[in-house]
Amino acid sequence: MRIVVLAGGIGGARFLRGLLAAAPEAEITVVGNTGDDIHLFGLKVCPDLDTVMYTLGGGIHEEQGWGRADETFTVKEELAAYGVGPEWFGLGDRDFATHIVRTQMLSAGYPLSAVTEALCARWKPGVRLIPMSDDRVETHVLVETDGERRAVHFQEYWVRMRAAVPAHAVVPVGADAAKPAPGVLEAIADSDVIVFPPSNPVVSIGTILAVPGIREAVAEAGVPVVGLSPIVGDAPVRGMADKVLAAVGVESTAAAVAAHYGSGLLDGWLVDTVDAGAVAEVEAAGIRCRAVPLMMSSLEATTQMAREALALAAEVRA
């Protein structure tokens, strides 16, 4: 079975662990979000690709969900001693090595997809990880501070401002001119099932779908497309997805997120058991829906979620 997963960072990566356990024989291609990418200290940082790579490769800081385990921050402290920021983005010493290798390869002319493949040769994530695009796409958020509207990089909004200021729009700058990375459209066209993990529907999966050609390829693949809600009990399980959903005019409910993707894209949708009341509404919108436990509290629980997603795919295929 060939499975394509459109993934952001933590939610996507944790789900993928369960999917690997649920379908050990499957060939899994992960199309990763690069809208969160940022240049820091002259280095190219790809937070979502790295979260997937470290999580599946055994290098992740488990409790935090991002960054490396056993991390130290000497370089960051030395940079701060020079007065060189930003101090709000946590780059550890081990993590720095990844960004140095990546930047060096990009400077030598390799596209990001080839660089990602090279980094994965060390981490062996057990999936084929491809960035959504080799072209630069940067998610910006239109915020309002002191009565003035301005656009800030997504990381500044999310990490420095903690999404605490009103957001009026989310713009994937550069997406309209970006091309899907080599292998992305082919993997989608050749897949047996496409999965939207419980990743952020706006700034993770939404950004991937904003690359021209990807949304169309998913819609036209002719295979089941199933998703898992990142919203449980009318709130994100983790993080601030409600803020960016509000910015695009979508309510923070499992049903509203399904409707946001729409029946033109989604065939099946899993909501948590606490949202069982939303099943009828989602089905009325033309999307097959089931309520099952959706908390990734352990590998067993996550594996069961992946099994449910594959079972739903089989059901809509039949």
State the residue for tokens 């309510």: 251
Bridge partner residues of 2 (DSSP): 27
Is residue 268 a contact residue for Ca ion (CB under 5 A)?
Answer: no
Q: Which does 295 bind (CB under 5 to 8 A by kind): ligand GDP, Ca ion, none?
A: ligand GDP
Is residue 67 a contact residue for ligand GDP (CB under 6 A)?
Answer: no
Segment lying near ligand GDP (by CB under 6 A), choices 119-127, 174-182, 210-218, 290-298: 290-298
The DSSP output letter for 151 is E
179 closest CA partner among 224, 231, 146, 217: 217
Residue 39 backbone phi and psi in degrees, to 5? -95, 125
134 closest CA partner among 178, 198, 191: 178
State the first-to-last Cα distance of the chain, in angstroms, to the nearest integer: 16
- Total number of residues that touch ligand GDP (CB under 6 A): 24
Is residue 236 a contact residue for Ca ion (CB under 5 A)?
Answer: no
Cα 75 to Cα 116: distance, rounded to the nearest angstrom: 23
Window 48-67: residues binding Ca ion (CB under 5 A): 48
Please identify which residue in 11, 32, 67, 92 interacts with ligand GDP, judged by CB under 6 A. 11
Type of residue at 142: L
Residue 282 backbone phi and psi in degrees, to 5? -65, -45
Is residue 131 a contact residue for ligand GDP (CB under 6 A)?
Answer: no
Is residue 155 a contact residue for ligand GDP (CB under 6 A)?
Answer: no
Is residue 236 a contact residue for ligand GDP (CB under 6 A)?
Answer: yes
The minimum distance between CB 63 and ligand GDP, in angstroms, equals: 13
Is residue 36 a contact residue for Ca ion (CB under 5 A)?
Answer: yes
Residue number with CB closer to ligand GDP (191 or 207): 207
Is residue 198 a contact residue for ligand GDP (CB under 6 A)?
Answer: yes
Bridge partner residues of 151 (DSSP): 142
Window 113-152: residues binding Ca ion (CB under 5 A): none
- Total number of residues that touch Ca ion (CB under 5 A): 4
Contacts of 219 (CB under 8 A, 6+ apart): 225, 264, 265
Asked if the bond preceding 198 is cis, omega within 30° of 0, the reply is: no
Contacts of 213 (CB under 8 A, 6+ apart): 179, 180, 185
Is residue 204 a contact residue for ligand GDP (CB under 6 A)?
Answer: yes
Q: Which does 10 bind (CB under 5 to 8 A by kind): ligand GDP, Ca ion, none?
A: ligand GDP
- Residue ranges binding ligand GDP (CB under 6 A): 7-12, 48, 51, 198-200, 204, 228-230, 232, 236-239, 241, 294-296
- Residue ranges binding Ca ion (CB under 5 A): 8-9, 36, 48
